[in-house]
Amino acid sequence: MICTAKYEGVVCRQAVVDLIYVFLIGMLSAFILHFTGGCPCKATVGIYCPGCGFTHAFIMLMRCKFDLAWEYNPAVYFIAASSVWYLAFGDTVKNARAWNFIIWFTALTTTWLIRLIIGFPEVMS
């Protein structure tokens, strides 16, 4: 990570802590999904939530199965890229944490709305 002497790694440590929190929330979500048998939003409201398929998409991205990652949740590419940017340059950009959140929120919301309009892929069924 790139940390300037002025901050002496404080922002970089915050970026790592933020991503650890996101990872733990993701693991908790995967645990809940495993034992409830699916998306609680889908079970109660009848529509997929913005994060549906994200765990599978991330796993497919790590396995270099890019087409399947896109099918599960296209937001995974934007979120992965913004996370790498945040870790690498978060200490040099003013309000990087807020910008990273905006990117994540926009990516998830936009892909969710598009998928509500055009329909979710069969891999989600």
Give the C-alpha separation, 84 to 61, whole Å.
14
Q: How confident is the model at residue 123 (pLDDT cuts 50, 70, 90)?
A: low
Give the C-alpha separation, 114 to 7, whole Å.
40
Taking the CA of residue 7 as centre, how many other CA atoms within 13 Å lie in the half-sphere pointing to its CB? Answer: 17
Give the C-alpha separation, 113 to 95, whole Å.
27
What confidence score (pLDDT) does residue 125 get? 57
Give the C-alpha separation, 80 to 104, whole Å.
9
pLDDT digits 0-9 by tens, 60-99: 998 999 999 999 889 999 999 988 888 787 777 788 888 8
pLDDT digits 0-9 by tens, 17-57: 777 887 887 778 777 767 767 777 777 788 888 888 888 88
The answer to whether residue 10 scores a pLDDT higher than 60 is no
Residue scoring higher pLDDT (22 or 118): 118
What confidence score (pLDDT) does residue 66 get? 93
Residues 56 and 117: beta-carbon distance below 8 Å: no
For residue 56 the two structure tokens come to 């599978």
